[in-house]
């Protein structure tokens, strides 16, 4: 596909002057791209094999604060380096940045030379390897929703992210006329990402004023997570170049719908066939699919922290907004936490609707795979299908309603401690507890408006 580069193609592009800059990046705990801009000749001379980054990049919060209490990095340990080793399978052009290529890097420990266990990409790779040992390849797709504003990022910052002007004045779900008004930006996003070896199937208006969605073609799980991370960064960069601001917050405004990142998933066999499809099964679902889904449902409370990682994430779970509140499954039912799509065909799959657009794709996909593996290995039985409006369901499991409850669910999960390792689970539990602590000590606009005069 256009934009994909081999090392030899990069070398030629550098010689001809087509490429002069290479971004060597890693993914941090928040799913953001962090790294260095290399002069292309120096990248080819040295960094193509290895470069370095400070290990605090996997122990900070959204504000890049040096958070105390992490085992991997601290002031007492001096905040040393990780080795960044480029995965040349991810090398690509970045069309919206002049003369620029990008490569994703894996992180390695200097002393042990082992991949850093807590790094998001490593976490996902280990779960993919577990599935490979079982004879399966996970094929996945993540949808991404976000809000677009007439303001620039700089204007939004100056205004304290208040009183912003949405790109549209009304609900634009599937709305062609309204999205035509936004086509200058959205066309640049589609064509730019396609030119970066990320196949964009479509963009569309979503179910709130100013809300958009970008849909990337399904791929193997690691490629999908890589694409997701680059898409989020690319959408921001392209919007910035167009003097627009966008946000991937799960819930940016009380009156607006939340933004999701639904995860479509199925397992394939080595001969390229769906292990989820059985023409004789209910809705075409194989026994493997049923066990996998049973694992998803059984571990849904514990996986929620990987799908909703911030205090704000839980403000999206509101009845009647297309965000789920119950961990039930149902056929083509957008009120359920898990929706079966493509029934009675080889495209049959399950869509997890719990995740928000603020999730880290590597952690989110890894959490799904680990739960699915548990379902298959333990032959978990899929509960009965929920029919009707899941918002009104009584006596059925619910999604944790706040980050503290989700943290507690992950903390007591023996499955995730076994699948990810205690080191990994404790690392991300610490991140969640810090997030809650930071929120608890802040005075919000809501506090002031409610209590300044009347308290």
pLDDT tens, per residue, the chain with 455 residues: 589 999 999 999 999 999 999 999 999 999 999 999 999 999 999 999 999 999 999 999 999 999 999 999 999 998 999 999 999 999 999 999 999 999 999 999 988 889 999 999 999 999 999 999 999 999 999 999 999 999 999 999 999 999 999 999 999 999 999 999 999 999 999 999 999 999 999 999 999 999 999 999 999 999 999 999 999 999 999 999 999 999 999 999 999 999 999 999 999 999 999 999 999 999 999 999 999 999 999 999 999 999 999 999 999 999 999 999 999 999 999 999 999 999 999 999 999 999 999 999 999 999 999 999 999 999 999 999 999 999 999 999 999 999 999 999 999 999 999 999 999 999 999 999 999 999 999 999 999 999 999 99
Beta strands (DSSP E) in 308-397 are 329-331, 338-341, 349-352
Contacts of 134 (CB under 8 A, 6+ apart): 373, 376
CA angle centred on 72, ends 68 and 76, rounded to 5°: 55
Classify 278 as helix, strand or coil. Answer: coil
| Pair 117, 424: CB distance under 8 Å | yes
Residue 157 to residue 163: CA distance in whole angstroms: 11
What's the pTM?
0.97
4, 35, 31: which is closest to 22 by C-alpha? 35
Model pLDDT, residue 1: 59
| Pair 40, 20: CB distance under 8 Å | yes
Beta strands (DSSP E) in 375-445 are none
Q: Please give the structure tokens belonging to residue 124.
A: 């996902």
| Pair 215, 200: CB distance under 8 Å | yes
Classify 66 as helix, strand or coil. Answer: strand
CA angle centred on 104, ends 102 and 105, rounded to 5°: 130
Q: Please give the structure tokens belonging to residue 291.
A: 């066990």
Residue 429 to residue 409: CA distance in whole angstroms: 10
Classify 84 as helix, strand or coil. Answer: strand
Residue 90 to residue 183: CA distance in whole angstroms: 28
C-alpha 299 chain-centroid distance: 19
Residue 122 to residue 93: CA distance in whole angstroms: 24
Question: Which phi and psi (to 5°) does residue 81 adopt?
Answer: -105, 155
| Pair 282, 407: CB distance under 8 Å | no
| Pair 119, 106: CB distance under 8 Å | yes
Model pLDDT, residue 111: 83
| Pair 151, 246: CB distance under 8 Å | no
Model pLDDT, residue 2: 84
159, 207, 155, 149: which is closest to 182 by C-alpha? 149
Residue 164 to residue 210: CA distance in whole angstroms: 11
CA atoms within 13 A on the CB side of 218: 15
CA distances from 434 to 57, 164, 408, 409 (A): 16, 29, 14, 16
- Residue 287, Cβ density class (10 Å: 0-12 exposed, 13-18 middle, ≥19 buried): middle
User: How many residues are listed for the chain in this entry?
Assistant: 455
Q: Please give the structure tokens belonging to residue 224.
A: 């999908």
Classify 10 as helix, strand or coil. Answer: helix
Model pLDDT, residue 91: 98
Instruction: Please name each of the domains of the chain with its CATH number.
Output: 7-116 (3.10.20.70), 127-446 (3.30.590.10)
| Pair 7, 89: CB distance under 8 Å | no
Q: Please give the structure tokens belonging to residue 152.
A: 């620039």
| Pair 78, 47: CB distance under 8 Å | no
- Residue 381, Cβ density class (10 Å: 0-12 exposed, 13-18 middle, ≥19 buried): exposed
């Amino acid at each position: 596909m256009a934009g994909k580069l081999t090392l030899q193609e990069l070398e030629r592009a550098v010689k001809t002057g087509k490429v002069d800059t290479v971004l060597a990046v890693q993914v941090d705990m928040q799913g953001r791209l962090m790294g260095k801009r290399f002069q292309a000749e120096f990248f080819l001379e040295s960094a193509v094999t290895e470069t370095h980054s400070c290990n605090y990049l996997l122990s900070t919060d959204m504000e890049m604060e040096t958070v105390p209490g992490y085992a991997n990095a601290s002031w007492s340990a001096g905040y040393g380096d990780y080795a960044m080793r480029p995965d040349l399978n991810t090398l690509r052009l970045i069309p919206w940045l002049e003369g620029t290529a990008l490569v994703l890097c894996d992180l390695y420990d200097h002393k042990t030379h082992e991949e850093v266990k807590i790094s998001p990409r490593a976490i996902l790779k280990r779960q993919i390897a577990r599935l490979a040992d079982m004879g399966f390849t996970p094929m996945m797709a993540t949808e991404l929703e976000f809000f677009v504003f007439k303001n620039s990022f700089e204007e939004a910052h100056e205004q304290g992210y208040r009183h912003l002007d949405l790109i549209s004045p009304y609900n634009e779900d599937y709305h062609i006329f309204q999205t035509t008004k936004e086509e200058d930006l959205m066309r640049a996003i589609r064509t730019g990402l396609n030119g970066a070896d990320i196949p964009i199937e479509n963009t569309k208006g979503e179910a709130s004023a100013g809300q958009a969605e970008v849909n990337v073609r399904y791929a193997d799980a690691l490629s999908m997570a890589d694409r997701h991370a680059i898409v989020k960064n690319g959408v921001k960069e392209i919007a910035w170049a167009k003097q627009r601001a966008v946000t991937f917050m799960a819930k940016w405004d009380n009156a607006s719908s939340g933004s999701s990142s639904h995860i479509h998933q199925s397992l394939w066999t080595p001969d390229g066939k769906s292990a989820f499809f059985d023409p004789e099964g209910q809705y075409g679902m194989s026994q493997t699919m049923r066990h996998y889904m049973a694992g998803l449902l059984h571990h849904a409370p514990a996986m929620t922290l990987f799908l909703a990682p911030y205090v704000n994430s839980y403000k999206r779970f509101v009845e009647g907004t297309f965000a789920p509140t119950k961990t039930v499954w149902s056929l083509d039912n957008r009120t359920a936490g898990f929706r079966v799509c493509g029934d009675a065909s080889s495209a049959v799959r399950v869509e997890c609707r719990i995740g928000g657009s603020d999730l880290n794709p590597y952690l989110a996909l890894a959490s799904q795979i680990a739960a699915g593996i548990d379902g298959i290995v333990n032959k978990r039985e899929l509960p009965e299908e929920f029919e009707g409006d899941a918002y009104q369901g009584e006596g059925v499991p619910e999604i944790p309603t706040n980050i503290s409850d989700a943290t507690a669910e992950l903390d007591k999960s023996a499955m995730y401690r076994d699948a990810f390792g205690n080191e990994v689970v404790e690392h991300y539990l610490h991140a969640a507890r810090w997030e809650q602590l930071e929120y608890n000590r802040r005075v919000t606009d809501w506090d002031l408006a409610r209590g300044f005069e009347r308290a």
